[in-house]
Amino acid sequence: MNFISVQNIFFSYSNNEDGSLAKNAVNGVSLEIKKGEFIALLGHNGCGKSTIAKHLNAMLLPDSGKVYIDGDDTCDEEKTYDIRKKVGLVLQNPDNQLVASIVEEDVAFGPENLGVEPEKIRIRVDNALKAVDMYEYRKHAPFKLSGGQKQRVAIAGILAMQPECIVLDEPTAMLDPNGRNEVLSTLLKLNKQNGMTVVLITHYMDEAVLADRVVVMDKGKILTLGTPREVFSQVELLKKHRLDVPQATELAYKLKGCGLNIDKMPLNEEECVKMLEEVLK
């Protein structure tokens, strides 16, 4: 079985005040994620992305359907702790996730709560901070860090719990371009070098193109999924649902519409420049 297996889940947040049934936030989603994969999850606000993310570490349980993490059913209460050890969640606002007044204490919070021995916590904290390039800041106060640095500390806090998978809900939404780069390269490093499974929820298409697979959600369902090239080649479908495509892809799509022969849709700057050079040759 795959590391994450989401099987036809439905979920609605509790009923409306007037007693009527709230509409489903997730409406029959199935998704298989292999160990070591990097998945980007796209879609409008309210499409059910975050609800899916919260299902991946048993923060939410499906109304019907099943979620298995490494073979364990998230509905099995005895497994909840194991599942949360395996899947760590990072949220949008770094300020809401940091609890201690010193960076290294903040990172130690997770493993302390898991009951890890003090000497081992020390090692885990150091390693986690090194992994996100924040080791030199270990004695700093979190509130004095930049947004990108804070978000990396939040990621380190998750890493210190040694999860096998990290789920991030728009971790770069509040960051400037530099901060976004810092977080993204950290994630790529964890994925490529350490084999960490990564599920990244984002509104930024330039981040999504870095993933192994892209999943696009709409109205609680999966609209399409595949490699970034497969997904972003469907410019029409994405536009119809008012989702973005990278500007590089959009240009190629429009040139194609003018009757030019373009086989491989470019996803980034380099590919687009190469494509244009070939067209203009």
Partner 1 sequence: MSKILELKNLSFVYGQGTPFEKCAVSNVDLSIEKGELIGIIGHTGSGKSTLVQLLNGLIRPTSGQVILDGEDIWKNPKEIRKIRFKVGMVFQYPEYQLFEETVYKDIAFGPANMGKSGNELHDAVIKAAEFTGLDREILSKSPFDLSGGEKRRAAIAGVMAMDPEVLVLDEPTAGLDPMGRDVLLSQIVQYHRKRKNTVLLVSHSMEDIARVADRIMVMNSSKLVMFDETKKIFSHSRELEKYGLRVPQITKIMLKLKEKGYDVSDGVLTVDSALSQIYSLLNREGKIW
Show contacts with partner 1 in window 76-115 (CB under 8 A): 92
Q: Which of 41, 116, 175, 215 binds partner 1 (CB under 8 A)?
A: 175
Given the DSSP bridges, would you call strands 38-42 and 26-33 parallel, antiparallel or unpaired? unpaired
| Binding-site member from 75, 174, 225, 237 for partner 1 (CB under 8 A) | 174
Least Cα distance to 37 among 190, 175, 245 occurs for 190
Please, which of residues 26-85 interact with partner 1 by CB under 8 A? 43-46
- Four-point Cα dihedral 260, 210, 36, 89, nearest 10: -130
Residue type for 269, please?
E
Output the smallest distance, CB 18 to partner 1, in A: 12
Distances (CA, A) of 29 to 74, 276, 281: 15, 39, 46
Site string for partner 1, 206-235 (x = CB under 8 A): x-----------------------------
Tell me if 53 sits within 8 A of 41, measured CB to CB: yes
Partnered with residue 26 across adjacent β-strands are 11
Number of residues that bind partner 1 (CB under 8 A): 39
Q: Is residue 260 near partner 1 by the rule CB under 8 A?
A: yes
Using the rule CB under 8 A, is 273 a contact of partner 1?
yes
Interatomic CA distance for residues 265 and 249, integer angstroms: 6
User: Contacting partner 1 (CB under 8 A), which of 19, 177, 193, 263?
Assistant: 177
Q: Quote the crossing angle between the two packed helices 103-113 and 147-159, to the nearest 10°.
A: 30
Pick the binder of partner 1 from 179, 199, 207, 210 (CB under 8 A). 179
Nearer to partner 1, 85 or 241 (CB): 241
- With CB under 8 A as the contact rule, the residue among 146, 162, 224, 227 that binds partner 1 is 146
* Residue 12 burial class via C-beta count within 10 angstroms: exposed 0-12, middle 13-18, buried 19 and up: middle
Residue 198 CB, shortest distance to partner 1, in Å, is 21
Interface residues with partner 1 (CB under 8 A)? 43-46, 92, 146-148, 170, 173-179, 203, 206, 242-244, 246-248, 250-251, 254-255, 258-260, 268-269, 272-273, 276-277, 279-280
